[in-house]
Amino acid sequence: MPVVVDSLPLSDRGLHYGDGLFETMAVQEGRVRLLDLHLARLARGAARLAIPLADADGLAAALARAAADMGDGVLKLILTRGSGGRGYLPPDVPTFSLIIQRYPPVAVEGQEGVTVRLCDLRLARQPLLAGLKHLNRLEQVLARAEWRDPAIAEGLMFDSEGLLIEGVASNVFLVREGQLLTPLLDQCGVAGVMRAHVIQRAAGLGMVVQETRLVLNDLLAADEVFLTNSLHGIRPVISLLGRCTWAVGPVTRALQARLWGGS
Amino acid sequence: MPVVVDSLPLSDRGLHYGDGLFETMAVQEGRVRLLDLHLARLARGAARLAIPLADADGLAAALARAAADMGDGVLKLILTRGSGGRGYLPPDVPTFSLIIQRYPPVAVEGQEGVTVRLCDLRLARQPLLAGLKHLNRLEQVLARAEWRDPAIAEGLMFDSEGLLIEGVASNVFLVREGQLLTPLLDQCGVAGVMRAHVIQRAAGLGMVVQETRLVLNDLLAADEVFLTNSLHGIRPVISLLGRCTWAVGPVTRALQARLWGGS
């Protein structure tokens, strides 16, 4: 079973290099929401970074135990490559550190619609890290620091080629003529667990989500726009700084209504 | 005076996001080598990331104290944005954590010449972070994990456009027809302190180092190639996997000889 640490040695590679991954999970009534999807993404990331994470069952059990007595809240898991190695070189014998932290619930907001802005920061393109929820998040920190107005719920991010990628802490979907579109995340961006869940739920409603290259004009031409995030579910985008507006449309409403129900 | 912490709370943004900077400094006979250059780079990085670091004198004194009784060795400083904020959003009141760690000396190697390889990983281009020694170092970890043969001292890295940038843990200089060249680091790469020192020393010898865009063919056409790094100084590159070879030339030797002397 994985050992969950309560404190981290100052030698941990998670601190020195951001050499690790994380998951932020909603807990509802003592159960981790979308646990399987979180564990699957973590496993993909660990495989890509060659961080060992052999005991998936033990990890799932540890998370379930951490959630069991907390009612509603948030669990954050951090998996690092532990200590060791010589400088950047990973240790000869692969190892890891696992941290599980409990936080109070966040107020779920924006279900009726949110205002967004466009971030100035352009995401760099690194296909080897694209899609992963790794610990190298300075781009998100700098992008999120671009605004403090609480009326703006999220900033949309483009990459260095001008492609629409994601929100700072969410994924983005567009609806155009009834077709669901979301950015392809093969060069940068985080492939969110709620993004994966929405793609699955849409399929249950007979809708195929197309992962594709999208630009600002696709956003402006969209009939509906919404954000996804593990803690907030689906948030319709209704305004870009009050300048452009979108209605909360039927596709968004259908997905919100069916997000958790039977197929 | 800055407070140096002995342990880090698990909430620290250095761990969660790599939200910070570091310096790795050689200590010789109880003194930090190139301390002013290290502090200057740290200050530039802190300014770029908006991490407060007001008391430069106090920090210099803390480093001097840490070095004073260690003889020869290595000091590593980590500066993070501390704890707080909401998710990626930095805290309203800027704060920081400062860690200073002491390590035994590393054996200085490769002064007569080293073998290098070319890394497969291509560095992403993020001008907002270019030049900084920040804590988002997964690219270096993955690049360094590409080889374990101890006969290969360093891997040369190119960016996504094919430009030569640096070694995994060093900077690179070329000599072509007596002219010193080093990659311009405006899109990615770490602007090393030894790189800055060599540029200064070269000026003292009447040589201007041109910071410019360089590609693989520039490397292959160079008369001399050398690496710089705070711990190893100047290491001539004499072989690319035994396939291409370079002589240790007069410019490299002159810089090695005058690296620490008078003007």
Nearest partner of A172 among A74, A240, A103, A75, judged by Cα? A240
Asked whether B135 and B20 are in contact (CB, 8 A), the reply is yes
Domain A13-103 of CATH type 3.30.470.10? yes
Q: Which of A23, A80, A154, A166 is catalytic?
A: A166
User: Cβ A121–B128 below 8 Å, yes or no?
Assistant: yes
Q: Do B18 and A136 touch (CB under 8 A)?
A: yes
Strand order in the sheet with B31-32: B31-32, B20-28, B73-80, B97-103
Mean pLDDT of A55-62: 90
3-state secondary structure of B17: helix
Of all residues in chain B, the one with the smallest CA distance to A86 is B144
**Residue range B165-202, pLDDT digits in tens:** 999 999 999 999 999 999 999 999 999 999 999 999 99
pLDDT category at B262 given cuts 50, 70, 90 is: low
Residues B126, A140: C-beta atoms closer than 8 Å:
no
Taking the complete model, does pTM exceed 0.90, yes or no?
Answer: yes
- How would you classify residue B253: left for phi > 0, otherwise alpha for psi between -120 and 50, otherwise beta? alpha
Distance from CA of A138 to the nearest CA of B (A): 6
Mean pLDDT of A176-196: 97
The confidence score (pLDDT) of residue B2 equals 59
CA angle A5, B22, B219 (to 5 degrees): 120
Question: Using 50, 70 and 90 to split pLDDT, how confident is the model at A2?
Answer: low
Among B41, B9, B36, residue whose Cα is nearest residue B190: B41
| A245 counts as catalytic | no
| H-helix or E-strand spanning residue A204 | helix A193-204
Is A24 part of the annotated catalytic residue set?
yes
CA distance A123 to A165: 8
Residues A102-136: tens digit of each pLDDT: 999 999 889 999 999 999 999 999 999 999 999 99
Q: Which of A49, A125, A138, A229 to mutate to test the interface with B (most CBs of B within 10 A)?
A: A138
Nearest residue of chain A to residue B106 (CA atoms): A86
Among candidate residues B23, B80, B133, B224, the one labeled active-site is: B133
Q: Is the pLDDT of residue A78 over 80?
A: yes
CA distance readout (Å), A244 to A146, A224, A247, A248, B157: 20, 12, 10, 13, 43
Q: What does the pLDDT look like over A228-249, one tens digit per residue?
A: 999 999 999 999 998 999 999 9
Interface A:B, Cβ pairs < 8 A: 145
Using a CB-CB cut-off of 8 Å, the residues of chain A touching B17 are 18, 135-138, 140-141
* Contact residues on chain A for B15, CB-CB shorter than 8 A: 8, 12, 14-15, 78, 80, 135
For B141, the closest chain A residue by CA position comes to A88
Q: Which of B166, B224, B228, B252 is an active site residue? A: B166
What residue of A is the nearest CA neighbor of B6? A10
Instruction: Yes or no: say if A82 and A96 are a contact pair by the CB < 8 Å rule.
Output: yes
Cβ A16–B121 below 8 Å, yes or no? no
Cα(B34)–Cα(B190) distance, rounded to whole angstroms? 16
> Which chain B residues have a beta carbon less than 8 Å from that of A6?
10
Indicate if A166 belongs to the active site.
yes
B159 and B126 in contact (C-beta within 8 Å)? no
What H or E segment, with its residue span, contains residue B257?
A: helix B250-257
pLDDT of residue B3: 64
The helices-and-strands tally (H runs, E runs) of chain A is 7, 13
Chain A residues with CB-CB distance to B16 below 8 A: 22, 78, 135, 137
Q: Are A157 and A165 in contact (CB under 8 A)?
A: yes
Report the distance separating Cα A100 and Cα A119, nearest Å.
31
Q: Mean pLDDT over residues A21-41, rounded? A: 97
Residue of A nearest to B15 (CA): A15
SS3 call for A103: strand
Minimum distance, in Å, between the CA of residue B96 and any CA atom of chain A: 14
For the stretch B71-129, pLDDT in tens is 999 999 999 999 998 899 999 998 999 999 999 999 988 999 999 999 999 999 999 99
What are the structural domain ranges in chain B? 13-103, 114-257
- Cα gap B8→B100, rounded to integer Å: 12
Task: Residue B124: list chain A partners with CB under 8 A.
Answer: 124-126, 188
Minimum distance, in Å, between the CA of residue A182 and any CA atom of chain B: 23
Quick check: A263 pLDDT over 50? no
User: Average model confidence (pLDDT) for chain B?
Assistant: 95
3-state secondary structure B38-50: HHHHHHHHHHHHC
pLDDT higher than 70, residue B47: yes
Contact A28, A72 (CB under 8 A): yes
User: What residues are paired with A227 via a beta bridge?
Assistant: A172, A235
A27/chain B closest Cα distance in angstroms? 17
Backbone angles phi, psi at B41, to 5 degrees: -65, -40
Name every residue whose Cβ is closer than 8 Å to that of residue A260 and which is 6 or more positions away in sequence.
Answer: none
N-terminal to C-terminal alpha carbon distance within chain B: 34
A90 → chain B, closest CA residue: B145
Question: Sorting pLDDT into bands at 50, 70 and 90, what band is B263?
Answer: very low
Rounded Cα–Cα distance for residues B53 and A182 (Å): 41
Residue B29 DSSP class:
T
Contact A138 B135 (CB under 8 A): yes
Query: What is the token pair recorded at B104?
Result: 């035994």
Determine whether the interchain pair A137/B17 forms a contact, defined as Cβ–Cβ distance below 8 Å: yes
Superfamily of domain B114-257: D-amino Acid Aminotransferase, subunit A, domain 2 (3.20.10.10)
pLDDT category of residue B55 using cuts at 50, 70 and 90: confident
Mean pLDDT of chain A: 95
Taking an 8 Å cut-off on Cβ atoms, the answer to whether B17 and A78 are in contact is no
Question: Could you identify the residue written with the tokens 């360089």?
Answer: B214
Strand partners, A85: none
Strand partners, B8: A8
Q: What are phi and psi of B57, to 5 degrees?
A: -65, -40
CA distance between the termini of chain A: 34
Mutate to test the interface with B, among A6, A8, A17, A49 (most CBs of B within 10 A): A17
Residues A31 and A25 sit within 8 Å (Cβ to Cβ): no
Catalytic residue among A23, A80, A133, A228: A133
Please tell me what DSSP assigns to residue A3. P
Distances in whole angstroms, Cα of residue B195 to Cα of each of A169, A230, A246, B152, B260: 37, 44, 52, 21, 14
Q: Is A248 helix (H, G, I), strand (E, B) or coil?
A: coil
Calculate how close chain B gets to A8, using CA atoms only, in Å. Answer: 7
B1, pLDDT greater than 70 = no
In a 13 Å sphere around the CA of B252, the CA atoms on its Cβ side amount to 26
